Structure 1
């Protein structure tokens, strides 16, 4: 399982969101470039970076995002409200390892189909779930799709993976979030990356045994120092122990 240490940027600062609420960010006194370098030093294979200003459609973190991509020394999976092919390809050209698409996939499925064909294994579908529906526009708008329907629409595309987030689950309600992610992971051939499920080291150990969950994003727990990245990476890399089968 791949651990994706995660940074979320808002107005040039590192933040975390509670239940996706952009208006109530938790701010961290962390240098984002130094943090990204620290991820690589700890042994991370990938990192995830979200430009929340890009999701909101305001502000400009472009220079900082590019600086992080150059300094990180590991591939960066980048999200942030991408709305055009030119935006996506511009960031791929500037070194982003993967691009995360959510809202535009809901608005215009052909947009994602075309991008996935042009950039196989570099496009990641974001599925943000709230009360059984897919959310768009930075978790502010409720779509008419169920998560299962949404994922099924892109089953044939050469995606790098699917990030599943249960927006409704608070960081302390991991069981509910894990149930949502487990069900969706079982319904797709694509590798699923869980988001919002890790508050402690024990949560990583549990995720390892969920079929078809190939990774997890960890942001708030790292910023709050509730999880040590080196320890998380070691647990994720350790061979899974046999699991008893019940009839």
Structure 2
């Protein structure tokens, strides 16, 4: 399983939001570029950046994100504000490894289908779920789609992955969220990345054994110290690799 450290940007700062509320950010007083480099230095294979300003059409973080892409040394998966094929193409030209689309898939699915064909393995579908339905526009609007129906609508499109976020996980039973991710991972053709279910190493331990889940996004827990990245990366290694490392350390 691949661990994706998550940096969420608002007005050039690293933040964590409760249920997408940009008016109540928890601000982390760290430099985003240096934080990204520290994740790479710790051994992360990928980095995810979510640009909350871009969701409203504000490109104030663009230079900062380009600097991270240039200097971090690992591929970057970027989400936030992708509302056109042109913007998807522009960021891929800027060197981003993958773009994440969610709202666009609900409002203009034909653009997402075209993007997936033009940039195979570089487009990720975000499925954000609240009370059993997919939500859009930074979690502000509930659609008529169930997550299963949305997956079926894109069944033949070559996505790199699908990110599943259960927004109810903030307040609900973790077992229900695990059940949702398990169900959708069994239905999706691309492998699934789970978001919002990794607050502790114990959470990651459980998620690791959910069939067809290929990765986990971890944000707040890495900033508040609930999870140490090096420990988490060691935990999600394949068992054979961990055993080999253990034997090597004993020699």
What is the TM-score normalised by the length of structure 1? Answer: 0.94
* Residue in structure 1 matched with residue 122 of structure 2 by the alignment: 122
* Residue in structure 2 matched with residue 208 of structure 1 by the alignment: 208
**8 Å CA contact retained: 1:12, 1:64:** yes
Structure 1: how far apart are the matches of 2:201 and 2:182?
18
* Residue in structure 2 matched with residue 66 of structure 1 by the alignment: 66
Structure 2: how far apart are the matches of 1:173 and 1:21?
21
* Residue in structure 1 matched with residue 248 of structure 2 by the alignment: none
* Residue in structure 1 matched with residue 184 of structure 2 by the alignment: 184
Report deviation, 1:177. 2.1
Report deviation, 1:140. 0.6
Q: Rate the CA distance shift 1:179–1:22 in 2: closer, same or farther, 3 A.
A: farther
Report deviation, 1:167. 1.2
Number of residue pairs matched? 240
* Residue in structure 1 matched with residue 53 of structure 2 by the alignment: 53
Q: Rate the CA distance shift 1:59–1:114 in 2: closer, same or farther, 3 A.
A: closer
* Structure 2 unaligned regions, length at least 5: 241-251
* Structure 1 unaligned regions, length at least 5: 241-247
* Residue in structure 2 matched with residue 244 of structure 1 by the alignment: none
* Residue in structure 2 matched with residue 16 of structure 1 by the alignment: 16
* Residue in structure 2 matched with residue 79 of structure 1 by the alignment: 79
2:238 equivalent to 1:238: yes
Question: More displaced, 82-91 or 53-62?
Answer: 53-62
* Residue in structure 2 matched with residue 197 of structure 1 by the alignment: 197
Q: Rate the CA distance shift 1:38–1:202 in 2: closer, same or farther, 3 A.
A: same
SS at match of 1:186: helix
Kindly provide the CA deviation profile for residues 156-192 of structure 1, in whole angstroms up to 9, marking residues without a partner as x: 1110000000112217853332222111111112100
SS at match of 1:135: strand
Q: Rate the CA distance shift 1:85–1:170 in 2: closer, same or farther, 3 A.
A: same
* Residue in structure 1 matched with residue 101 of structure 2 by the alignment: 101
Structure 2: how far apart are the matches of 1:168 and 1:116?
29
What is the TM-score normalised by the length of structure 2? Answer: 0.92
SS at match of 1:197: coil
**8 Å CA contact retained: 1:205, 1:236:** yes
2:11 equivalent to 1:5: no
SS at match of 1:168: helix
* Residue in structure 2 matched with residue 218 of structure 1 by the alignment: 218
Greater helix share, structure number: 2
Question: More displaced, 55-64 or 5-14?
Answer: 55-64
2:148 equivalent to 1:140: no
SS at match of 2:168: coil
SS at match of 2:180: helix
